[in-house]
A and B are shown apart, each in its own frame.
Chain A
Amino acid sequence: MQLTGAQALIRSLEMEGVEVMFGLPGGAILPVYDPIIDSPIRHILVRHEQGAGHMAEGYAHATGRPGVAIVTSGPAATNIVTPLCDAYMDSIPMVVITGQVPSTAIGTDAFQECDTVGITRSVTKHNELVMNAQDLPRIVREAFHIATTGRPGPVLVDVPKDVAQATMDWYWPESVDLPGYRPTTKGHPRMIKEAARLILASRRPVIYAGGGILKARAAEALRELAELTDIHVVTTLMARGAFPDDHRLCLGMPGMHGSYTAVTAMQEADLLIALGSRFDDRVTGKVDAFAPDAKVIHVDIDPAEQGKVRKPDVPIVGDCRLVIEELVREIRALLDGGTEQADTSAWRSRVSGWRENYPLTYEPSREGDALKPQFVLEQLRDNTPSDTILVSGVGQHQMWSSQYWRFNEPYTWVNSGGLGTMGFSVPAAIGAKVGRPDRMVWAVDGDGCFQMTAQELVTASTERIPVKVAILNNAYLGMVRQWQEMFYDERYSEVYLSPDLPDYVKWAEAMGCVGLRVEAPEEVLPAIEKANEIDDRPVVIDFRTDAREKVFPMVPAGRSNDDIVLPPAQREGAER
């Protein structure tokens, strides 16, 4: 059967089971847009290509399936570089198709030509310029294989216009042949034995769970390991939800704005069981001073993560789920064979002590005071279904979201961790809602972040994707303001945004959403309830919050986790 390259491309996406893609057409990708009319794949027309990329990411976060974005050449391709880098840093499976000028014009600085493959080389797991229509099915098949296996990541396929127009003989490759790509999935049995012995022998162990748990669908296995051994679990920003917050063994988030208990337990541990986590500097603080007494078991599918930051005592390369399952089997065998687990009761009671003495707190607002952002989050948490998907932007509101929510299910937290991309939340929430239309999806955004990609709410209104957005409007680039307050003598350079310019309610309405404004604590719940009832269009709530509120605890950048700064009310008498 003869097809055009464009038809073959769309056909290949169908073969990969793609149900939705996010994009915006233009000259170079025009031939590919033509067969989309006849395809069962749903296309969502975005207002900015950055939106398409983040939507694809949000979709992937919420469903575990690869997100797909399709855009034209030149400026469209450069607009999607940020989401590519974001997906690369957070190991999100994503396939991006870009149009390219005709292959005969490549290298001539033709209209809307840019070296897309060159620009995106260091922010993709792999990318490919297609020079022959006949290669398209193979390249698409490889792209999905690479994006979704091993350590997931974004793959870009750049398609010149003439290649899309050329004809080819349709085929679908039965298998992929990539001689240089063979991810290791099964852990080394000797290492697993060693890890099991170490786990049973340690007196102050902590499981340090990272985003890899979610990528590997290993939440169940993790729970089994934790319960079998009675070991506490910290869940990094990327792993929130991988272990239930309501579980007695859950310590919440570690790192710069982690809970005192999570940070301190890691610092004092004699064993860190790092599962799909990568020792990011926001977790470790000053690396040399991080968990000084701890031995490290490091499980990661990416061999390059082993020893990149901290040398592990037991490195295990493999798929988190398979390795944890093996580990559980091994530990069971040891226990059945009479090996006893070391006594961890003293450690567990110390951890409980910290938990009791240093809970997350903030000072509630008194009569007439400005609204506290943490209060808004608590109200939102307590008045939405427990399987609500929470998406956030980047800044103070992101940290409060992670701190104050209770994630009890995996894949309910959608976040930009590694890159920290402002403007992530609105489009990512749209993508998440498209992937999980059965779930309620709330985006918690900062006023600064919201202004970066709010226009995608036009997409949401048009496509009837009823996401809900809570802007924590503190009139500032709040996180930057916090650093200026704490580390730059309150010299507030270029961080003031204004609380009412733009008028968020009118803006929301202009974009086809329902807009609400909330200024006082007693208005919070009615507004949330109203928003929850609206299911035919997006809702935006402008919560006017206290600009002086800061995120605590905090480990100042570059400092040791021992130097954690507590909220004012807990500062007296803090000791470990």
Chain B
Amino acid sequence: MTIPPGAHHTLSVLVENKAGVLARVASLFARRGYNIYSLAVAPTDDERFSRITIVIDVESAPLEQIVKQLFKLINVVKISELAPADSVERELMLVTARADGPTRGQVIELVQVFEGVIVDVGHDEITVMLSGVPTKLDDFEDLMRPYGIVQIQRTGRVALPRLDKSAPRLRAVGGKAG
């Protein structure tokens, strides 16, 4: 699931936390022929709402039309586009890889380089948890492949806007001037 940079859009969609809302969103995409790359959903801190992070293929439809159609769903409260440059994106992956005999050491070394965590160990396989930007996960996947990937599960990405980096404005401190 490697997406060339710039070929996708990430939408952060705040929806009412009601039964069937995810199905509504997914079937809207299916019905209009838009492609979903990845989709992650979970409740927010406010239990009335959930946040869906949808990564879509820019080729499949004009973004503007997707957003407008999505916004027509009654349970969709807010939609923000997260430009890749202006947002932080993370993804989590669990991967079970072959790690037997002579390769075991090399696999573990790779996991350490990528700051992964070994969460399960079998006779000749290990399961690793790795989180980070999606491209890091892609790289890890590529490097692991020669050793033998048994199973892999990625969560799809979640994202939030980047925070304002400009210097804080000086606030008046103390009593009245003059």
Q: Which chain B residue has the least Cβ–Cβ distance from A123? A: B31
On whether the beta carbons of B16 and A179 are closer than 8 Å, the reply is: yes
Q: Which residues of A contact B24 (CB under 8 A)?
A: 121
| 26 cross-chain CB contacts under 8 A | A117-B20, A121-B23, A121-B24, A121-B27, A122-B27, A122-B28, A122-B31, A131-B19, A178-B74, A179-B77, A180-B15, A180-B73, A180-B74, A180-B75, A180-B76, A180-B78, A181-B74, A302-B72, A303-B68, A304-B68, A304-B69, A304-B71, A304-B72, A307-B62, A307-B64, A308-B65
Provide the bound-state CA to CA distance between A401 and B74, in Å: 37
Rounded to whole Å, the gap between the CB of B87 and the closest CB of chain A is 22
Provide the bound-state CA to CA distance between A146 and B24, in Å: 16
Residues 1-30 of B, flagged 1 when their CB comes within 8 A of A and 0 if not, give 000000000000001100110011001100
Interface residue ranges of A106-149 to B (CB < 8 Å)? 117-118, 121-122, 125-126, 129, 131, 146
Q: Which residues of B contact A178 (CB under 8 A)?
A: 74
Q: Name the one of A126, A146, A304 contacting B65, with C-beta atoms under 8 angstroms.
A: A304
Rounded to whole Å, the gap between the CB of A11 and the closest CB of chain B is 24
Provide the bound-state CA to CA distance between A181 and B78, in Å: 10
Rounded to whole Å, the gap between the CB of B100 and the closest CB of chain A is 44
Interface residue ranges of B43-85 to A (CB < 8 Å)? 62, 64-65, 68-69, 71-78
Provide the bound-state CA to CA distance between A302 and B23, in Å: 22
Provide the bound-state CA to CA distance between A118 and B27, in Å: 9
The 3 A-B residue pairs with the shortest CB-CB distance in the complex, in nearest-first order:
A304-B68, A180-B77, A126-B74
Provide the bound-state CA to CA distance between A307 and B62, in Å: 10
Interface residues of A (CB under 8 A from B): 117-118, 121-122, 125-126, 129, 131, 146, 178-181, 302-304, 306-308
On whether the beta carbons of A146 and B74 are closer than 8 Å, the reply is: yes
Q: Which residues of B contact A306 (CB under 8 A)?
A: 68
Interface residue ranges of B64-123 to A (CB < 8 Å)? 64-65, 68-69, 71-78
- Interface range, B side: 20 to 34
Q: Which residues of B contact A308 (CB under 8 A)?
A: 65
Q: Which residues of A contact B77 (CB under 8 A)?
A: 179-180
- Knowing A179-B77, A180-B16, A180-B76, the reply to whether A303 touches B71 (Cβ < 8 A) is yes
Provide the bound-state CA to CA distance between A304 and B71, in Å: 9
Provide the bound-state CA to CA distance between A125 and B73, in Å: 8
On whether the beta carbons of A307 and B20 are closer than 8 Å, the reply is: no
Q: Which chain A residue has the least Cβ–Cβ distance from B66? A: A304
Rounded to whole Å, the gap between the CB of B45 and the closest CB of chain A is 16
Interface residues of B (CB under 8 A from A): 15-16, 19-20, 23-24, 27-28, 31, 62, 64-65, 68-69, 71-78
Q: Which residues of B contact A118 (CB under 8 A)?
A: 23
Q: Which residues of B contact A304 (CB under 8 A)?
A: 65, 68-69, 71-72
Q: Which of B31, B72, B78 counts the most A-chain CB atoms under 10 A from its CB?
A: B72
Q: Which chain B residue has the least Cβ–Cβ distance from A121? A: B27
On whether the beta carbons of A129 and B20 are closer than 8 Å, the reply is: yes
Provide the bound-state CA to CA distance between A237 and B36, in Å: 36
Q: Which residues of A contact B19 (CB under 8 A)?
A: 129, 131
Provide the bound-state CA to CA distance between A126 and B28, in Å: 12
Q: Which chain A residue has the least Cβ–Cβ distance from B16? A: A180
Provide the bound-state CA to CA distance between A303 and B64, in Å: 10
Provide the bound-state CA to CA distance between A307 and B76, in Å: 21
Q: Which chain B residue has the least Cβ–Cβ distance from A146? A: B74
Q: Which chain B residue has the least Cβ–Cβ distance from A305? A: B68
Q: Which residues of B contact A126 (CB under 8 A)?
A: 74
Provide the bound-state CA to CA distance between A308 and B64, in Å: 9
Q: Which residues of A contact B74 (CB under 8 A)?
A: 125-126, 146, 178, 180-181
Q: Which residues of B contact A307 (CB under 8 A)?
A: 62, 64-65
Rounded to whole Å, the gap between the CB of A410 and the closest CB of chain B is 26
Q: Which chain A residue has the least Cβ–Cβ distance from B65? A: A308
Provide the bound-state CA to CA distance between A131 and B20, in Å: 12
Rounded to whole Å, the gap between the CB of B55 and the closest CB of chain A is 21
Q: Which of A118, A179, A302, A308 counts the most B-chain CB atoms under 10 A from its CB?
A: A179
Provide the bound-state CA to CA distance between A146 and B74, in Å: 8
Q: Which chain A residue has the least Cβ–Cβ distance from B69? A: A304
Provide the bound-state CA to CA distance between A181 and B28, in Å: 17
Provide the bound-state CA to CA distance between A364 and B88, in Å: 73
Q: Which residues of B contact A146 (CB under 8 A)?
A: 74
Rounded to whole Å, the gap between the CB of B153 and the closest CB of chain A is 26
Rounded to whole Å, the gap between the CB of A183 and the closest CB of chain B is 10
Q: Which chain B residue has the least Cβ–Cβ distance from A178? A: B74
Rounded to whole Å, the gap between the CB of B1 and the closest CB of chain A is 27
Q: Which chain B residue has the least Cβ–Cβ distance from A151? A: B72
Q: Which chain A residue has the least Cβ–Cβ distance from B68? A: A304
Q: Which chain A residue has the least Cβ–Cβ distance from B26? A: A121
Provide the bound-state CA to CA distance between A304 and B72, in Å: 8
Provide the bound-state CA to CA distance between A93 and B68, in Å: 21
Provide the bound-state CA to CA distance between A518 and B120, in Å: 85
Provide the bound-state CA to CA distance between A479 and B170, in Å: 75
Q: Which residues of A contact B78 (CB under 8 A)?
A: 180
Provide the bound-state CA to CA distance between A475 and B75, in Å: 49
Rounded to whole Å, the gap between the CB of A481 and the closest CB of chain B is 32
Rounded to whole Å, the gap between the CB of A448 and the closest CB of chain B is 29
Rounded to whole Å, the gap between the CB of A316 and the closest CB of chain B is 15
Provide the bound-state CA to CA distance between A178 and B74, in Å: 8
Rounded to whole Å, the gap between the CB of A145 and the closest CB of chain B is 10
Provide the bound-state CA to CA distance between A181 and B15, in Å: 11
Provide the bound-state CA to CA distance between A409 and B169, in Å: 63
Q: Which residues of A contact B15 (CB under 8 A)?
A: 180
Provide the bound-state CA to CA distance between A302 and B78, in Å: 16
Provide the bound-state CA to CA distance between A126 and B71, in Å: 13
Apart from A304-B71, A308-B65, 18 more pairs, CB < 8 Å = A117-B20, A118-B23, A121-B27, A125-B74, A126-B74, A129-B19, A129-B20, A179-B16, A180-B73, A180-B77, A180-B78, A302-B72, A303-B68, A303-B71, A304-B65, A304-B72, A306-B68, A307-B62
Q: Which of A129, A146, A181, A308 counts the most B-chain CB atoms under 10 A from its CB?
A: A181
Rounded to whole Å, the gap between the CB of A94 and the closest CB of chain B is 16
Q: Which chain A residue has the least Cβ–Cβ distance from B64? A: A307
Q: Which residues of A contact B69 (CB under 8 A)?
A: 304
